[in-house]
Amino acid sequence: MKKTASLSLFIGLVVSIAALYLAFRQVPISDLTAYLKSINYLWIIPTILLALGGFMLRIYRWQLILKASQPVGFWQAFHPLMIGFMLNCILPGRVGEVARPIILFQKEHVPFSTGLATVAAERTFDAVILLMLFAWMLTVVQIDPVMEIHFGGYVLNKTLLINAATGITRLCLLLLVAIVLVALESTRSWINHLFLKIPKLFFFTSLAFQDVIYRRFSLVLVRFTLSFSKGFLLLREPGKMAACFALSFLIWGLNVLSYYTMTLGAPGVHLSFAELTVVMVIVCLFISIPSVPGFWGIWEAGGVFALALFGVSAKDAAGFTLANHAVQMLPVIVVGMGSAVITGVNIWQVSRQIGGEVSAIRKSGD
């Protein structure tokens, strides 16, 4: 047993080092080091604590969403969430969102489709808050239509910003429609009825073949839909819905506050809480654009664009944004790696499952 534990620890440490390399290989270390030397390090501590505090609230919010279908303890939610966000930092495509329900299934036997639904619900709360903040931003900040920022190979402007917000809006509406269709028993029954009728489309084939389609396709979809719907049972509890929205506002408020405390020790960047809210919203919208793992480059470009709106020089904006990016992400990577080591989660195996084994987990878990 000790030998196995030691081997798991060794593998976890090797993967941790490799992941940190993948996360920071795109960072111009000399620029980051120079600006970090000019920052008052005392303000980095509250920045990290506030950023991690936001994740603690995310864990509690996810617990509330899960509680409606299958309650889990704090640490049982903590580890999958932190590992998932860590994977978002080191791998492309936000694969951490799928990793969370995979790990939850492996460790807590929560059906994959149910876990996936709770993640979708949680991210919908975030998207709604972000869009509300974006709508507020448009009323208080005038962005010059011809303003462009060239940084790190990106060209950012007002049109791209609005397009990113439009894309998130469409995704949010799609998620809301899907949630309503699957969560309501009447519409879910109608959808399942259609699934069960699929074998009839192959009327020209043998009854044996139609039976295979029924068992391996129609019934699987029906079970998946039923299990997926359990992740949205929160809709039946208005009180918990309101609590999740309140937690979402607090989460985003702590994010802005972490930006604010970072500026208190950063030279050349002196903005109000409201102005930093605008900066955070713009950065979040721009990093929704597909980019390299960890959002390196697009995060910096968005930060320079946003800070330019408030008269911050390009040099100070680039240095601050790069430093803030590292300070915001490094604790998430470290804590996520620690969770992987503690729980014995093989990150490489999980990443492979995301790519090729999700359907197998879904069938066995549902």
3-class secondary structure for 39-68?
Answer: CCHHHHHHHHHHHHHHHHHHHHHHHHHHHC
Considering 84-98, 211-225, 259-273, the range whose residues carry the highest mean pLDDT is 259-273
Where does the pLDDT of residue 152 fall: very low under 50, low under 70, confident under 90, or very high at 90 and above? low
The whole-model pTM stands at 0.83
Distance of CA 40 to the CA centre of its chain: 30
pLDDT > 70 fraction of the chain, expressed in percent and rounded: 86
Say how far apart CA 173 and CA 124 lie, in whole Å: 9
| More reliable by pLDDT, 113 or 133 | 133
Q: Which long-range contacts (CB under 8 A, 24 or more apart) does 156-163 make?
A: 156/286, 156/301, 156/302, 156/305, 160/286, 160/289, 161/282, 161/285, 161/286, 161/305
Where does the pLDDT of residue 176 fall: very low under 50, low under 70, confident under 90, or very high at 90 and above? confident
Please compute the mean of the pLDDT values over residues 307-328 and round it to a whole number. Answer: 88
Q: Among 232-236, 262-266, 267-271, which is the least confidently predicted range?
A: 232-236
- pLDDT attached to residue 295: 83
Please compute the mean of the pLDDT values over residues 220-237 and round it to a whole number. Answer: 84
Q: With 70 as the cut, is the pLDDT of residue 15 above it?
A: no
| Average pLDDT taken over every residue of the chain | 84
Q: With 90 as the cut, is the pLDDT of residue 74 above it?
A: yes
Can you state the percent helix, strand and coil of the chain, rounding each to 5? 80, 0, 15
Please compute the mean of the pLDDT values over residues 103-123 and round it to a whole number. Answer: 90
Q: With 90 as the cut, is the pLDDT of residue 261 above it?
A: yes
The encoded tokens of residue 263 equal 């500026």
Please compute the mean of the pLDDT values over residues 52-59 and round it to a whole number. Answer: 96
Please compute the mean of the pLDDT values over residues 281-296 and round it to a whole number. Answer: 84
- pLDDT attached to residue 32: 66
- pLDDT attached to residue 25: 60
Say how far apart CA 280 and CA 284 lie, in whole Å: 6
- pLDDT attached to residue 366: 45
User: How many CB atoms lie under 10 A from the CB of residue 306?
Assistant: 29
| More reliable by pLDDT, 9 or 99 | 99
Residue type, position 4, single letter: T
Please compute the mean of the pLDDT values over residues 4-23 and round it to a whole number. Answer: 54
Please compute the mean of the pLDDT values over residues 285-297 and round it to a whole number. Answer: 80
- pLDDT attached to residue 181: 84
Q: With 70 as the cut, is the pLDDT of residue 16 above it?
A: no
Please compute the mean of the pLDDT values over residues 230-257 and round it to a whole number. Answer: 91
| More reliable by pLDDT, 154 or 320 | 320
| More reliable by pLDDT, 116 or 20 | 116
Return the sign of the alpha-carbon dihedral for residues 304, 165, 22, 53.
Answer: positive
- pLDDT attached to residue 90: 82
Asked if 109 and 314 count as a contact pair (C-beta separation under 8 A), the reply is no
- Phi first, then psi: give them for residue 237, nearest 5 degrees: -125, 90
Say how far apart CA 84 and CA 333 lie, in whole Å: 10
- pLDDT attached to residue 58: 97
Q: Is 156 helix (H, G, I), strand (E, B) or coil?
A: strand
Q: Among 83-87, 152-156, 193-197, which is the least confidently predicted range?
A: 152-156
Contacts of 171 (CB under 8 A, 6+ apart): 127
Where does the pLDDT of residue 93 fall: very low under 50, low under 70, confident under 90, or very high at 90 and above? confident
Residues in the chain: 366
Where does the pLDDT of residue 19 fall: very low under 50, low under 70, confident under 90, or very high at 90 and above? low
Lookup result for tokens 């998130």: 168
Contacts of 69 (CB under 8 A, 6+ apart): 114, 118, 230, 231, 233
* 128-147 pLDDT tens trace: 999 999 999 999 888 888 88
Say how far apart CA 282 and CA 256 lie, in whole Å: 12
- Cα–Cα distances in Å, from 199 out to 214, 312, 362? 6, 63, 21
Relative to beta strand 148-151, strand 154-157 is: antiparallel
Say how far apart CA 60 and CA 234 lie, in whole Å: 14
Contacts of 208 (CB under 8 A, 6+ apart): none
